[in-house]
Amino acid sequence: MVSQRPGPNLSRIATSLGVSVATVSNALSGKGRVSEALIEKIRSHAAELGYVPSQAGRALRTGRSGVLGLVLPDIANPLFPKIAQAIEFAASAAGYGVLIADSRGDISAQTEAINRLVERGVDGMVIVPRRATRISAASCPVAVIDTASTPGNTVAADHWQGGREIAAHLAGLGHKQILIIGNNHESNVQNDRAGGIRAGLQPGMRSETLWVERLENETGAGCRLGLAEKARQGFTAFAALSDLQALRALTELQQEGISVPADVSVTGFDDLIWSPVVTPSLTTVRMDMDTIAEIAVSALVDRINENGTREGVMVTAETERVPMQLIIRQSSGPAKPAQKTSEMENL
């Protein structure tokens, strides 16, 4: 077994420069009374020697771990790795590491995840909550990323505005009947998106909402959504509240011989990694995750610096809304002129 030579410690740096360990510590931490010239000399020499500060030692001195927690609802959903990447980048820029906990789609598991991160001594926590999550149980500062209608939310994509963008786009293409497709009628995010679509409808337009989980409770998971029948009823646009549901709609419509976008249009939300490469490529609404992450981490770090690490404090300033961006691709097109019932029955 080959042993590695340990990196230089403060004592070695102090001895080589003929100064005290306290002086080296103050120069590297920016504390105490040390001249600018000596600070520069010490930091330069430490860098030459390859000195890396001990996180454990820093935690003992400051009472802080230098780590933030991130609690996700379900990392199997392809949206949440994008969020995790953005949070990690923003946290790193602020000088923090990140510990990720996955709730696996379960409310009680999310509460347990929050408790585990607190036990591991995180300085603060970013939570993307499931409905009914007991966020107040966290005994450290917390920033919440969900939607503006969630109590205590810190920052959110403007899901309502995103829904209005979809409605305006479909109205401009001449669509009159829109089927909104969601998979969780209790989700604040999905309800805000659906509400934005309905609010953005122009005179003469109408919408209907299909909640997939209700249908599946009656007929089983993976059931058909009956979209061909909806097309025969005159719906020419299918506005899914997530790209995952949009993909499901695309697949079912194509299997029924209904062409997208020649016969009907399909739109989604989130702009997942595969959305530009499915056939046809998906018109969707994109969240600015980098900006959302920067705001959440910045608010959390400010609260940590104000209140310390072991005080359970929600970052409860008025929710900052980040506009969503409509991404127009091939899955949406002009509404097909109304057809006679006999013609639609041939679909």
pLDDT category at 84 given cuts 50, 70, 90 is very high
Q: Are 100 and 122 in contact (CB under 8 A)?
A: no
Please indicate, yes or no, if residue 1 is contained in any of the structural domains: no
Pairing of strands 265-267, 237-240: parallel
Do 281 and 298 belong together in one domain? no
One domain, residues 128 and 15: no
Same domain, 120 and 266: no
Instruction: Classify residue 62: in a domain, yes or no.
Output: no
Alpha-carbon torsion angle 123, 128, 132, 135, nearest 10: 10
The reply to whether 217 and 254 lie within a common domain is yes
Q: Which pLDDT score is estimated for 1?
A: 40
Residues facing 285 on adjacent strands? 326
DSSP 91-134: HHHTT-EEEEEE-TT-HHHHHHHHHHHHHTT-SEEEE-PPTT--
Residues 118-122: contacts with CB under 8 Å, at least 24 apart = 118/69, 120/65, 120/67, 120/69, 121/59, 121/65, 121/67, 121/309, 122/65, 122/67, 122/68, 122/69, 122/309
Within-domain flag for 167: yes
Strand bridging mode 142-144 / 155-157:
unpaired
Higher pLDDT, 338 or 157: 157
Q: Token pair of 42, please?
A: 């010490």
Max intra-chain CA distance, the chain: 95
Q: Which residues pair with 155 in a beta bridge?
A: 145, 320
Euclidean distance between CA atoms 324 and 322, whole angstroms: 7
Would you say residue 315 lies in a domain?
yes
Q: How far apart are CA 59 and CA 69, in angstroms?
A: 16
Domain match, 200 and 282 both: yes
Among 117, 73, 123, residue whose Cα is nearest residue 95: 123
Residues 34 and 113 grouped into a single domain: no
Looking at the fold, whether 212 and 336 belong to one and the same domain comes out as yes
175 occurs within a structural domain: yes
> Are residues 315 and 299 in contact, defined by beta-carbon separation less than 8 angstroms?
yes
CB 245 within 8 A of CB 212: yes
Residue 145 lies in a domain: no
- Average pLDDT value for residue range 266-278: 97
Q: How far apart are CA 342 and CA 159, in angstroms?
A: 39
Q: Which of 7-11, 93-97, 170-174, 225-229 has the lowest mean pLDDT?
A: 7-11
Cα gap 184→193, rounded to integer Å: 12
pLDDT tens-digit readout, 144-162: 998 888 878 899 999 999 9
Residue 147 lies in a domain: no
Question: Which tens digits make up the pLDDT trace of 13-22?
Answer: 888 888 887 8
Virtual torsion, Cα 125, 129, 132, 138, nearest 10 deg: 0
pLDDT on residue 178: 98
Mean pLDDT of the chain: 86
Structural domain includes residue 151: no
What is the rounded CA–CA span in Å between residue 128 and residue 70?
8
Domain around 39: 10-53
Q: Residue 193 contacts by C-beta under 8 Å, 6 or more apart in sequence?
A: 159, 160, 162, 163, 182, 241, 269
When divided into structural domains, the chain yields a total of: 3
pLDDT of 5 = 40
pLDDT 10s digits, 92-134? 999 899 999 988 877 788 888 888 888 888 999 999 987 656 6
What is the residue-wise DSSP string for 283-340? BEEE--HHHHHHHHHHHHHHHHHHH-SSS--B--SPPEEE--EEE--TT--PPPPP--
CATH code: domain of residue 276: 3.40.50.2300
Same domain, residue pair 203 and 222? yes
340/195 same-domain check = yes
Q: Are residues 274 and 175 in the same domain?
A: yes
User: Could you report the per-residue pLDDT of 226-259, keeping only the tens digit for each?
Assistant: 999 999 999 999 999 999 999 999 999 999 999 9
- 296 and 235 in a single domain? The answer is no
Q: Given this model, what pLDDT does residue 18 score? A: 86
Tell whether 93 and 24 lie within a shared domain.
no
